[in-house]
Structure 1
Amino acid sequence: MKSILDSFNVSRIKPIRDLIYESLRQAIFEGELKAGDRLVEKDLAEKMNVSRTPIREALRKLETEGLVKHLPRKGVVVRGFKREDVIEIYSIRKALEISAITYTVENITDDEINKLKEKIEIMEILTYKEDTVSLFNVSQEFNDILIRACRMPRLINLINTYLEYLEQFRRVTMKKKKRRLKALEEHKQILQAVIDKDVEKAKNLVEIHLQGALNAYLQTFTEDVQDEFNEENT
């Protein structure tokens, strides 16, 4: 499979530093770059066929976001997610999506409700087929329709800011059959609350769903890589 960094293309109409940042960020989220991997300016510049200056700028931006860190004698390395990072991200997601569902209940159209019903039917089939890749994609489509129905562009953008973090976490939880079945039922209940125009119930169900997702991830969460990484640098 072709590497994300190997397919880097400077011809796209964006500042080079932004293109580099996006490519490195994607490589981190998709696991091509793993916790503890060193990011050497010279090597990246040669690999991506650019100068070292935009590489340095992109790495600074990644460090600000908390995806990489600078260590003495090691340089820049990919930073693993710690338990508190996951809890913080889910807390932010919970606050944003509870706010969004309030407006979704008010603004959703019949056409969007019908699309959500279709997604639920497909998700049910995929859940029992144990096709987790397709299930992940359809689940994302369900969430996207539900969030966009709030008709709050700035709120949608804020939620999307954390989308890549959440995609990584959800890929882990979807491997667990018990969580897949529970999530399917929770999605059905959320949709029914939206159809019934029951704002408080919808908000409560979203909170329960996201807390369940967090708990499922924390059960499988391991700090082995991070602990080993920390031990090497103490």
Structure 2
Amino acid sequence: MPEKKQKKRPGGMDLDQKAYQGIRQMLFFNEILPGQKIKYQDLADKIGVSITPVIHALKRLEFKNVVSHAPNRGYFVNETSLKEITEIYDTRLLLEVSLVPEIIRHLDAESMDRLGKAFDAYREAVKEENYYNRLMTDMRFHLTIASMAQCQIQLKILQELFDTLLLKYTRNLILLGIMDSSLDEHVHIVKSLTDRDMDGLRQALSTHLDHVRNHITDGFRKMFAVKPRQMVDLFSLQ
């Protein structure tokens, strides 16, 4: 029996992918919040697909641990977790620092040009005090550095870590993630790369990621100690 082809919308994107991207966007912009039950029909209506692609998309997000399925109850967005966010930043630190020798070995003019553009974009976001853009450009900066190592498996793991942060923790990171020292620490990272200083790059990345991890996790501990009504008031100020 021939395989049934998936229907596609104009432009070539299949309906499952359209549903997946639509739900991702809602998560990123906090239109769907942690702990919230997901209503299939509401999502289908907003995205412009049937319920089936929505369910397929939710299964993909369940694999990423972004949502969970409760028997006879449906899908829920997973709650934020101090343990998970700590593990993500611990893994980032180990992974990014481990790539340093390969980054230095493959360093060339083209990769330094890409890094310069990524750093300039981050610096502009800092000047504009655009916190969403600052978060995104910071991640692109670190992914650009990691990509210099030409280690595709490690890069894919790092991309998945960033994906989890964006889908589950964007709101929290905007509230907690701004550090006055970050720009200076990024400058030190770029200088170490320019100088091809392997030990300096290890130290600069370790120091920066350690500071970020401690800042974020300390903020989460304080956040979890705040009463729910106070949390709503805090987020309403953003």
Could you list the runs of 5+ residues in structure 2 that have no partner in the other structure?
1-7, 230-238
1: CA distance, partners of 2:42 / 2:125: 42
2: CA distance, partners of 1:134 / 1:44: 26
Contact 2:66-2:164 at 8 Å conserved across structures = no
What is residue 171 of structure 1 aligned with on the other side?
A: 174
1:84 offset after TM fit, Å? Answer: 0.6
2: CA distance, partners of 1:121 / 1:78: 35
Contact 1:29-1:165 at 8 Å conserved across structures = no
1:113 pairs with 2:112? yes
1:93 pairs with 2:96? no
2: CA distance, partners of 1:132 / 1:201: 28
1:33 offset after TM fit, Å? Answer: 0.9
What is residue 40 of structure 1 aligned with on the other side?
A: 39
1:73 offset after TM fit, Å? Answer: 6.3
Closer/same/farther in 2, CA of residues 38 and 135 from structure 1, 3 Å limit: closer
1:153 offset after TM fit, Å? Answer: 3.0
What is residue 51 of structure 1 aligned with on the other side?
A: 50
Closer/same/farther in 2, CA of residues 73 and 139 from structure 1, 3 Å limit: same
Contact 1:101-1:146 at 8 Å conserved across structures = no
TM-score, length of structure 1 as denominator length:
0.74
Could you list the runs of 5+ residues in structure 1 that have no partner in the other structure?
1-8, 229-234
Aligned residue identity for 1:34: L
1:148 pairs with 2:150? no
1:183 offset after TM fit, Å? Answer: 1.2
Deviations 1:48-97 (A, max 9, x none): 34332222222222222211123466432211211011012112222321
Contact 2:122-2:141 at 8 Å conserved across structures = no
TM-score, length of structure 2 as denominator length:
0.73
Residue identity over aligned pairs, in percent, reads 21
Matches within 5 A, 1:1-234: 10-71=9-70, 74-113=73-112, 116-117=115-116, 120=119, 123=122, 127=126, 130-167=129-166, 168=170, 170-174=173-177, 176=178, 179=179, 181-221=180-220, 222-223=223-224
Closer/same/farther in 2, CA of residues 56 and 147 from structure 1, 3 Å limit: same
1: CA distance, partners of 2:60 / 2:103: 33
